[in-house]
Amino acid sequence: MNKGKEKSRVRVLCWVLTDPENHDSKALPAYDTWASKCDRTLFITTKSHSFLPTVVLNVTEGRESLLQKSIHAFKHVYEHHLDEADWFLKADDDTYVIMENLRHFLSNKNPEEPVYYGFRFNSIRPDTKNGYMSGGAGYVLSREAVRRLVTQGMDDPRKCRLHSKAPEDLEIGRCLEKAGVLAGDSRDEEGRQTFHCLSLQDHVLGNLPEWLHRYSTYPVKSGPDCCSKHTISFHYTEPIMMYVLDFAIHHIRPYGQCDRKD
């Protein structure tokens, strides 16, 4: 059963890419911590699991099949769950998401507008002008964005190359743009990122590769200014860190600081 007092009028469906090899080692820690706080959670995989809420696909596992899994996931969500949520989050099984902050971020946004948010990269393709969102950091689509992606994008081979060998996030970004979905700005009022495509450690300690600075649409910082105080996600989160982060975020408060609605 999904949990969390933070549930509100902002309904979020989360679907998470995983595979049978990672069910117990990665997917379960994600579900034990952040993913069970979604209004509905789906793990996209090729085998069922006794505890995880899975959607089982008939595809071959491997990095080359991530695009196919994502396409099938969006079609499944559109056909079976579109009216159950306002926003639809895609994440990996090593993504950690602070659901309270995601709902806060989305609370003043309209799910009937064609837009999606995440950590934005510049496109390396001339036919995509608006860039694309990192798959590992997680990206969230409005209901209208999902509708357009499936009905105006995936049904038209000129817009969506369903059998492309390109990275999943790059191709989905191209498809969304061709379907008329906007790439939104998820930075906070101080220009700090809320979605992060590397681990918390990397961003805090400054272990940032050169390519990140080169391809990120917006400036990437490290140290105390790396991350918004309302950060939403980190990628490359080890299973044990899922539990550590979840405990620290939700159970530890510095003395003298109270919860505020800011």
Region of residue 44 (left: phi > 0; alpha: psi -120 to 50; beta: else): beta
> 125: Cβ–Cβ under 8 A, 6 or more apart, which residues?
170, 174
Place 3 in a pLDDT band, splitting at 50, 70 and 90: very low
Distances (CA, A) of 61 to 67, 130, 171, 224, 236: 11, 30, 18, 39, 19
Distance of alpha carbon 66 from alpha carbon 40, whole angstroms: 21
Domain limits of the chain? 12-250
Structure tokens at 192: 């700090």
CA 112 vs CA 41, 143, 148, 262: distances in Å: 21, 6, 11, 25
Model confidence at 130, in pLDDT bands (50, 70, 90)?
confident
CB atoms inside a 10 Å sphere around CB 95: 29
| Nearest to 59, CA basis, from 50, 68, 48 | 68
Nearest C-alpha neighbor of 49 from the set 20, 16, 15, 17: 20
What's the pLDDT score for residue 255? 87
- The pLDDT score that the predictor gives to residue 256 is 80
Buried-exposed string 128-146: b where 16+ CB fall within 10 A, e elsewhere:
bebbbbbbbbbbbbbbbbb
CATH of 12-250, one of 3.90.550, 3.90.79, 3.30.70, 1.10.3470: 3.90.550
Q: What is the mean pLDDT of the chain?
A: 91
Could you report the per-residue pLDDT of 83-111, keeping only the tens digit for each? 999 999 999 999 999 999 999 999 999 99
Rounded to 5 degrees, what angle do the CA atoms 38, 22, 118 make? Answer: 45
Sort 235 into a burial class: Cβ within 10 Å, 0-12 / 13-18 / 19+.
Answer: buried
Q: pLDDT (tens digit, 9 = 90+) per residue, 55-65?
A: 999 887 777 77
Report whether 49 contacts 76 (CB < 8 A): no
Q: What is the reported pTM?
A: 0.91
Tens digits of per-residue pLDDT, 141-184? 999 999 999 999 888 878 888 777 778 899 999 999 999 999 99
**Which two tokens mark 232?**
């939403």
**Which residues, 6 or more positions from 133, have their beta carbon under 8 angstroms from its beta carbon?**
116, 117, 118, 119, 120, 121, 139, 169, 173, 183, 195
